[in-house]
Chains A and B, each alone.
Chain A
Amino acid sequence: MEKFTTHTGLVVPLDVANVDTDQIIPKQFLQKTERVGFGVHLFHDSRYLDHSGKEPNPEFVLNKPEYKDTSILLARENFGCGSSREHAPWALEEFGFKVIIAPSFADIFYGNCINIGLLPIKLSEDEIEQLFVQAQGANLTLTVDLGNNNVSFTKDDGTEISFTFELGKFHKYCLEEGVDSVGWTLNKLETIEAFESKMPSWQ
Chain B
Amino acid sequence: MTTSTAPQTLYEKLWQTHLVEEKSGETPLLYVDRHLIHEVTSPQAFANLRFHNRPVRHPERTIATMDHNISTRSIKIDAAGEGAANQLRALEKNCKDFGIELFGMGHKNQGIAHVMGPELGLTLPGTIIVCGDSHTATHGAFGALAFGIGTSEVEHVFATQTLRQTKAKTMKIEVKGHVGQGISAKDIILAIIGETGSAGATGYVVEYCGEAIEALSMEERMTVCNMSIEFGAKAGLVAPDQTTFDYVEGREYAPKDDVWQQAVNDWKQLKSDDDAVFDSVITLEAKDIKAQVTWGTNPGQVISVDGIVPSPDDFNDPIEKESCVNALAYMDLEAGTKITDISVNKVFIGSCTNSRIEDLRAAASVVRSYTAKGQSVQSSIDAIVVPGSYRVKEQAESEGLDKAFTEAGFEWRLPGCSMCLGMNDDVLEEGDRCASTSNRNFEGRQGRGSRTHLVSPEMAAAAAIAGHFVDLNA
The yes or no verdict on A and B being binding partners is yes
| A contacts, CB < 8 Å to B | 17-18, 20, 22-23, 26-28, 30-35, 45, 51, 76-78, 81-87, 89, 104-108, 111-112, 115-116, 168-171, 173, 181-183, 185-186, 188-189, 191-192, 195-196, 199-203
Q: Are B448 and A34 in contact (CB under 8 A)?
A: no
**Given A31-B83, A31-B86: A188 in contact with B150 (beta carbons within 8 A):** no
Q: Are A81 and B199 in contact (CB under 8 A)?
A: yes
Is B212 an interface residue, CB under 8 A from the partner?
A: no
CB-defined A-B contacts under 8 Å, sample of 5: A78-B202, A84-B134, A85-B40, A86-B150, A181-B156
Q: Are A35 and B47 in contact (CB under 8 A)?
A: yes
Q: Are B153 and A111 in contact (CB under 8 A)?
A: yes
Q: Are A108 and B262 in contact (CB under 8 A)?
A: no
Q: Are B444 and A104 in contact (CB under 8 A)?
A: no
Is B232 an interface residue, CB under 8 A from the partner?
A: yes
From B84, B87, B152, name the one whose CB has the most chain A CB atoms within 10 angstroms: B152
Q: Are A170 and B202 in contact (CB under 8 A)?
A: no
Q: Are B155 and A201 in contact (CB under 8 A)?
A: no
A55–B217 Cα distance when bound, in Å, is 50
Q: Are A202 and B262 in contact (CB under 8 A)?
A: yes
| B contacts, CB < 8 Å to A | 20-21, 25-27, 29, 31, 33, 40-41, 43-44, 47-48, 52, 54, 69, 81, 83-84, 86-87, 90, 124, 126-127, 132-134, 147-153, 155-156, 159-162, 164, 166, 168, 198-199, 202-203, 229, 232, 234, 255, 259-260, 262-263, 266, 298, 319, 322-323, 421-423, 440, 442-445, 448
User: For residue A28, which residues in chain B have a CB less than 8 angstroms away from its CB?
Assistant: 423
A171–B26 Cα distance when bound, in Å, is 8
User: For residue B421, which residues in chain A have a CB less than 8 angstroms away from its CB?
Assistant: 22, 27, 83
**Given A82-B134, A116-B152: A26 in contact with B448 (beta carbons within 8 A):** yes
**Given A31-B86, A77-B199, A82-B440: A112 in contact with B27 (beta carbons within 8 A):** no
A27–B418 Cα distance when bound, in Å, is 12
Number of A-B contacts (CB under 8 A): 185
Q: Are B150 and A108 in contact (CB under 8 A)?
A: yes
Pick the residue among A31, A192, A202 that contacts B87 (CB under 8 A). A31
A189–B132 Cα distance when bound, in Å, is 23
Pick the residue among B134, B322, B444 that contacts A45 (CB under 8 A). B444
User: For residue B155, which residues in chain A have a CB less than 8 angstroms away from its CB?
Assistant: 182
User: For residue B40, which residues in chain A have a CB less than 8 angstroms away from its CB?
Assistant: 30-31, 85
Q: Residue on A with the closest CB to B134? A: A84
Q: Residue on A with the closest CB to B254? A: A202
Q: Are B41 and A86 in contact (CB under 8 A)?
A: yes
**Given A22-B440, A76-B319: A33 in contact with B47 (beta carbons within 8 A):** yes
Q: Are A31 and B69 in contact (CB under 8 A)?
A: yes
Q: Are B25 and A170 in contact (CB under 8 A)?
A: yes
A33–B199 Cα distance when bound, in Å, is 31
Q: Are A168 and B166 in contact (CB under 8 A)?
A: yes
Q: Residue on B with the closest CB to A174? A: B27
**Given A18-B298, A26-B444, A33-B44: A115 in contact with B153 (beta carbons within 8 A):** yes
Q: Residue on B with the closest CB to A83? A: B134
CB distance from A63 to the nearest CB of B (A): 17
Q: Are B160 and A192 in contact (CB under 8 A)?
A: yes
Q: Residue on B with the closest CB to A108? A: B148
A-B complex: 3 closest residue pairs judged by Cβ atoms? A31-B83, A86-B150, A202-B263
Q: Residue on A with the closest CB to B85? A: A31
Pick the residue among A20, A106, A171 that contacts B202 (CB under 8 A). A106
